[in-house]
Structure 1
Amino acid sequence: MTPTDLSALLSRPFTLAVAARHGVGRSVVRRLVRDGDVRRVIHGVYVGAHVDDTPEVRARAAVMVLPRGAVVCGRTAARLHGVRVPALPRTQARRAAPIEVVVPVGAALPRRHGCRARIMALGPGETVWRAGIPVTSPARTAADLIRTSDRETGVVVLDGFLRAGLIAPDTLAALVERYAGHPGRHRLAEVVRLADGRSAGEDETLLRLALLDAGLPAAEVGWEIRSAFGRVLRRFALAWPGARVGVELTDDRQWVRARPRSIAGQRWLVLHCPTLQARERPTATVARIGSELRLREHRNRGDIAA
């Protein structure tokens, strides 16, 4: 085997059988592992050490050695669809997340280090292909994650699928109906009611939920103020147009004093909310936004009365 051929072999996950077909014996693979040129992805599958350890690489490795009909699902499937899933608690995230797969009813449940498998029947249209890997469809992936996660994770996930255009908003009612007889159906219905694809990311979604839980009026998500010619002048993560209050998430470490600003001929109160504080001190963040919103509404009522 030439160096070029060996490089091509190591650039993708391979089994010992695949290596043998390329003229690379078991002893050579073991030596490459020992020398640090090759690493084991999961039991029985290897890849060159220079290849990044991504969900796609590990998923591709898993389907090579799992029973026929195995399909990547859960968090792994979401990542392959390009949708970010909130991180697991620190106690669970110290090791690389296992590749989640389902195998058809009647197949033996595989037990391989680095894989988490379960037996489940998938319906028509619930399997798609991503980069040559069988994956549960966006709708099935979202439904599975939502039904088995907490509310916040579920809304973040569904917001992500909606934002990416992988699930259409007008199909959400059918999604709830499709899984009406499954465990977690009430959580799915709740998440569908709260989801909004206009959210730009996890931090915006979690702040929106925290404000709702505190009893504040529902905010408009991703509110844009446009010029007479349609140009976007300002985008707020969350906004209350009636009170003309908008929240922007920033990289600042501290709050910047809220000041009214003229935007498209209207006086808006712009709240520059530090993302880090919203993430680490959600209660204090919600209290501050609520206080500013109530004060603004009180002043607006005074202006009208005057």
Structure 2
Amino acid sequence: MGSARALAEPRAPVLGPVTADDVRTSGLAGEDLRRAVRAGAFVRVRHGAYVPAATWESADRAERHRLLVRAAARSLAAPVFGYESAAAMWRLPLLEGWPSDVQVLVLDARGTPSTRGVRRHRLATLPDVRAVDGVTVTTLARTVVDLSRTGSFARGLALADDALHRHRVDPDDLARELAAAGSGRGVRAARRVLAEADAGAESPGESLSRARMIELDLPRASLQREVRDSSGLVGRVDFLWEELGVVGEFDGRLKYRVDGVGDRATVEDRVWAEKRREDRIRATGLRVVRWTWRDALDAGRLARVLATAGVRPAP
């Protein structure tokens, strides 16, 4: 039992996948790992790969997919990960959820079929790659274009906005990847995504909202604009329809969370500060409309919310 306890209570935290080889290298036996799994200290995430239960239970869906990718990278022969798996390693947002299979690119000539837990995408030539946390993945630009060709407009826009805003991807790199795709499946959809992508969008919720507005043919808003009054800067707003005199704010609620925030303001203090800010915006003559994830996920619902502030499709 002592050796099993050594796995269950390691001296240093184990954050990544553990294999039977790791256990043997540490001087323990495979049975020790199995005992640790039965004891609930480890979780089997794929054949031959295990993750500390505490790590798995505390991980969100994106992090769990990263753990699956890292586990697969240790067991497959020189894998190149693409699509959602590359997005996970680049820490891009994925609105439509993460697959249970890792996504691997292989040369068509190899003809290796997909297997349980691994979906293989056959290509005539492998694309440019980068190493992220020791895992070989498609470039950021290629990842965005690939996923923009295969998913919804909203998913693609959230990916492209994030790549431009947070990762500072060069738009020319995106354009080159799109051109390299020729006239293949989904290229028209990806072209629309890249035409609308904007580095001004600062969160997936804002990107989703923008996608809905475009799909609803609503007037275009300026992003992250400053609002000032006689006392100076009131703040930056998510959306501004200047000609309509309307400010739009996506309320993801995360702004009210205290955990992980550097200052010690209470939630009540934050809500009160937000109310005072909104009152100052209204005092300038602007109307303010707010919406949530629930609204943005439903195009009809968001249309109704925005219509209350006078943001409607042009006649």
If the length of structure 1 is used for normalisation, what is the TM-score? 0.76
2: distance between equivalents of 1:263 and 1:30? 61
Which of 191, 194, 197 is matched with 2:196 structurally?
A: 194
Q: Are 2:85 and 1:76 aligned?
A: yes
**Change in 2 beyond 3 A, CA 1:131/1:268:** farther
* Alignment partner, residue 287 of structure 2: 270
Deviation of residue 145 (structure 1)? 0.6
Q: CA deviation at 1:79?
A: 2.2
What's the counterpart of residue 87 of structure 1? 96
Structure 1 residues 87 and 110 mapped into 2: Cα distance closer, same or farther (>3 Å)? same
Conserved 8 A contact 1:245-1:270: yes
* SS of equivalent to 1:122: coil
Matched residue type, 1:24: L
Q: Given the alignment, which residue of 117, 120, 126 partners 1:117?
A: 120
SS of residue paired to 2:54: coil
Superposed, 1:127-138 pairs within 5 Å as 127-138=129-140
1:33 Cα shift? 2.0
One-letter amino acid of the structure 2 residue matched with residue 199 of structure 1? A
Q: Is 1:65 aligned to residue 75 of structure 2? A: yes
Match of 1:283 in 2: 300
Q: Partner of 1:103 in structure 2? A: 106
Identity in percent: 23
1:217 counterpart residue number: 219
Shift of 1:112: 4.7
Report how far residue 240 of structure 1 moved: 1.7
- Residues 107 and 65 from structure 1, CA distance in 2 versus in 1: closer, same or farther, beyond 3 angstroms? farther
Is structure 2 residue 55 aligned with structure 1 residue 55? Answer: no
Structure 2, gaps ≥5 residues long: 254-277
State whether structure 2 residue 303 is matched by structure 1 residue 293.
Answer: no
Corresponding residue of 1:256: none
| Cα gap change, 1:40 to 1:106, in 2 (>3 Å) | farther
Query: CA separation in 2, counterparts of 1:148 and 1:176?
Result: 13
- Cα 1:107–1:66, aligned 2, differ >3 Å: closer, same or farther? farther
Q: 1:47 to 1:215 in 2, by over 3 A?
A: closer
Return the offset for 1:64: 0.9
What is the DSSP-based 3-state SS (H/G/I as helix, E as strand, rest coil) of the residue aligned with 1:293?
coil
Deviation at 1:151, TM superposition (A): 1.4
C-alpha deviation, 1:263, in angstroms = 5.6
| Structure 1 residues 268 and 285: CA distance shift in structure 2, 3 A | farther
Q: Secondary structure at the match of 1:36?
A: coil
Matches within 5 A, 1:97-246: 97-107=100-110, 109=112, 111-120=114-123, 121-123=125-127, 126-225=128-227, 233-246=234-247
Q: Is the 8 A contact 1:216 1:290 kept in 2?
A: no
Q: CA deviation at 1:185?
A: 1.0
What SS is found at the alignment partner of 1:199?
coil
CA distance in 1, matches of 2:48, 2:294: 45
Equivalent residue, structure 2, for 1:26? 30
* CA radius of gyration, larger in: 1
In 2: Cα distance, 1:201 partner to 1:55 partner: 21
* CA distance 1:228–1:136, change in 2 (3 Å): farther
Moved more, 59-68 or 10-19: 10-19
| Closer/same/farther in 2, CA of residues 82 and 270 from structure 1, 3 Å limit | farther
Q: Report the AA paired with residue 204 of structure 1.
A: E
* 2:228–2:235 contact (8 Å) kept in structure 1: yes
| Bigger shift: residues 158-167 or 184-193 | 158-167
Secondary structure at the counterpart of residue 175 of structure 1: helix
Q: 2:16 aligns with which of 1, 12, 25?
A: 12
Does the aligned pair in 1 maintain the 2:7–2:36 contact within 8 Å?
no
Shift of 1:115: 2.7
1:23, distance to aligned residue in structure 2 (A) = 2.6
Structure 2 vs 1, CA of residues 281 and 14 (structure 1 numbering), >3 Å: closer, same or farther?
closer
| Cα separation, partners in 2 of 1:110 and 1:228, compared to 1, 3 Å | farther
Seen in structure 2, the aligned counterparts of structure 1 residues 205 and 12 have a Cα distance that, compared at 3 Å, is closer
Deviation at 1:244, TM superposition (A): 2.8
Corresponding residue for 2:271?
none
CA-CA distance at 1:87 after TM superposition: 2.9
